[in-house]
Amino acid sequence: KAGVTQTPRYLIKTRGQQVTLSCSPISGHRSVSWYQQTPGQGLQFLFEYFSETQRNKGNFPGRFSGRQFSNSRSEMNVSTLELGDSALYLCASSLAGTGDETQYFGPGTRLLVL
Amino acid sequence: AQKITQTQPGMFVQEKEAVTLDCTYDTSDPSYGLFWYKQPSSGEMIFLIYQGSYDQQNATEGRYSLNFQKARKSANLVISASQLGDSAMYFCARNFGNEKLTFGTGTRLTIIP
């Protein structure tokens, strides 16, 4: 079974631009979560989607948004990029609601904001 | 705040030795899950092992085992017979009955040949 895939793997943007990151979960997984990893703040939860609905949200400004499609693929959007948005963005999928709580992560997207 | 604490920022271990990575957590919830992930320099988070708060036995997965001491709120990862490929960052995490994971700050493990 294929793992979680994320595109693109690397991205360079300038301040003020917006960016969209994509995540395809493991087949059959309906929950997709997003995390931001930076050297200063560590790993932080952004949001989680299940059946096209946002169920959980972390403590991030409204510039960070996401959505999930009917095939469970998810996108994350960051508008008006700031230098501090430079990070590794990790997506994870899980079989939510089945008793198996394990989240499986993709390879991440490294975003550099100049 | 419900915090995960990993007190060892870095560890150096001789190849083939066993290593224990520490993890303690705050919680007032009776039901929770504890996870360990490995992150090599490539960045991908690799799931290693899971322990549910109601599990009676410590979890094991190959060379990985979890020393779960519920009363002490401790969930240490034990890696037996360490290998050079075990060099990586290791993160302890717990969930809150939903899909949100809270992570510790990680331990950088270096295996010395």
Give the one of A43, A108, A110 whose C-beta lies nearest to B103's C-beta: A43
Alpha carbon distance A21, A6 (integer Å): 8
Place of tokens 């939860």: A45
Give the one of B33, B98, B103 whose C-beta lies nearest to A56's C-beta: B98
Q: What is the pLDDT of residue B2?
A: 77
Alpha carbon distance B63, B81 (integer Å): 7
**Pairing mode, if any, of strands A74-78 and A53-57?**
unpaired
Chain B interface includes A110 (CB < 8 A): yes
- A50–B99: do the CB atoms touch at under 8 Å? yes
Per-residue pLDDT of chain B (113 residues; tens, 9 = 90+): 679 999 999 999 999 999 999 999 998 888 899 999 999 999 999 999 999 999 989 999 999 999 999 999 999 999 999 999 999 999 999 987 677 899 999 999 999 99
Q: What is the pLDDT of residue B97?
A: 63
Q: Per-residue pLDDT tens for A25-38?
A: 999 999 999 999 99
Q: What is the pLDDT of residue B1?
A: 63
DSSP letters along B56-88, please? SS--EETTEEEEEETTTTEEEEEESS--GGG-E
- A105–B37: do the CB atoms touch at under 8 Å? yes
DSSP-derived letter for residue B70 is: T
- B100–A45: do the CB atoms touch at under 8 Å? yes
Q: What is the pLDDT of residue B46?
A: 97
Chain B interface includes A45 (CB < 8 A): yes
Contact B37, B93 (CB under 8 A): yes
Q: What is the pLDDT of residue B110?
A: 98
Chain B interface includes A56 (CB < 8 A): yes
Give the one of A35, A55, A104 whose C-beta lies nearest to B47's C-beta: A104
For chain A, 114 residues long, the average pLDDT of each consecutive 10-residue run is 93 98 96 96 95 93 97 97 98 86 94 98
- What is the rounded end-to-end Cα distance, in angstroms, of chain A? 37
A79-90 exposure pattern, b = at least 16 Cβ within 10 A, e = fewer: eebeeebbbbbb
Which residue in B has a C-alpha nearest to residue A92's C-alpha?
B45
**Pairing mode, if any, of strands A5-7 and A19-24?**
antiparallel
Which amino acid is it at A65?
A: S
- Give the mutation candidate from A31, A101, A111 for the B interface (greatest B CB count, under 10 A): A101
